[in-house]
Amino acid sequence: MAIESRQRHGLSQLAVTAFVSVLFKNWMLSTSGECQRCVEDGVSIETAGTADSFSAFYANKPQSYFSGARSDFVRRLPYDPAASILEIGCGTGATGALALAQGRCGRYVGVELFEAAAEEARNVLSEVITGNVETMEFPWQPASFDALILSEVLEHLVEPGRVLKSLSRYVRQGGIVMASSPNVSHWRVVREIALGRFNLTDRGVFDRTHLRWFTPATFAEMFEQAGFRIAWMGPVTPFSQRTQLLSRLTGGRYDHLFMAQIAIAGVRR
């Protein structure tokens, strides 16, 4: 009986391995085609992440793409009129305006890639710098900020881990970091890859301006490696009651399949 059990276990492992291999092969075939189209459109790994190379893609974005306050992030900030906050990818400044209005900070600095959005943000934020966060040099002293916010930004960068490590020096010890990104391990994404599809879109996880993809685990790991301790991780949109029940019954082991977007909150070590 023990031999038969081991044999059945071995067969199940082989089946899982074969299934994963098929998924990986489909993913490689799908994404290689998209990478080829990027090259044909004049976008390469060497030029990706610059305003010029993606300006045509971003030009098609609706105005709402650059606006909208992250009230969920602002709620997690302590009330501190003396605090300084840095946001990368501030858009038109809606999140910062809300934080200032609620007394969560007295100084809110934004960095924005596109001048049109940055110009609007200057009307409501303390300071706005226009440029590519991957190539620009900042004037701030180390530990200048009490909090760092990166809302749906890191997936657009060529080297997000390197950028995060560079930015961490500007956050004081004990300071807060909050960030979010689409989740590539969501069940709908897994389904599309299993079917051999990786069709780019104008929004969402398959956004054609995304250069990196994360699961909850790899997203959190990147922040840990940059010098932050993750205090909380969960979905941007709270789970439905049915999903909450499933999460409790499974001890959260499959939560990654139901997070459309990953949100994290951490502390600078």
Cα separation, 42 vs 44, in Å, equals 6
Residue 228, CB-side half-sphere exposure with 13 Å CA sphere: 32
Range 58-185+204-268: architecture per CATH = 3-Layer(aba) Sandwich (3.40)
Please answer whether residues 263 and 236 qualify as being in contact, where contact means their C-beta atoms are separated by less than 8 angstroms: yes
Report the half-sphere exposure of 192 (CA within 13 A, side-chain side): 13
Predicted pLDDT of residue 201: 87
Closest CA to 235 of 213, 216, 263: 263
Res 56: pLDDT = 52
Dump pLDDT digits (tens) for 126-149: 999 999 999 999 999 999 999 999
* Weakly modelled stretches of the chain, pLDDT under 70: 1-67
What letters, b where the CB count within 10 A reaches 16 and e where it falls short, cover 144-173? bbbbbbbbbbbbbbbebbebbeebbebbee
pLDDT in tens, 205-232: 889 999 999 999 999 999 999 999 999 9
Q: Which residue has the tokens 């685990």?
A: 217
pLDDT at 184: 96
Return the closest-CA partner of residue 171 out of 130, 129, 118, 228.
228
